[in-house]
Amino acid sequence: MFDVICQTIRSLSLQGILPAHLSSLPLQPDDALLDLGLDSLSQLTLLSELRGRLEVSIPAEPIDGLTTLGELAELLDEANVFDLSPAI
Does 1 score more than 80 pLDDT?
A: yes
- pLDDT score of 65: 74
Does 44 score more than 70 pLDDT?
A: yes
Whole-number Å distance between alpha carbons of 16 and 37: 14
Region 12-17 average pLDDT: 97
Q: Check: CATH 3.30.2450.30 for 2-76? A: no
Q: Write out the DSSP string of the chain.
A: -HHHHHHHHHHHHHTTSS-GGGGTSPP-TT-BTTTTT--HHHHHHHHHHHHHHHT----STT--TT-BHHHHHHHHHHHHHHHHSPP-
Rounded to two decimals, the pTM is: 0.85
Domain locations along the chain: 2-76
- pLDDT score of 85: 46
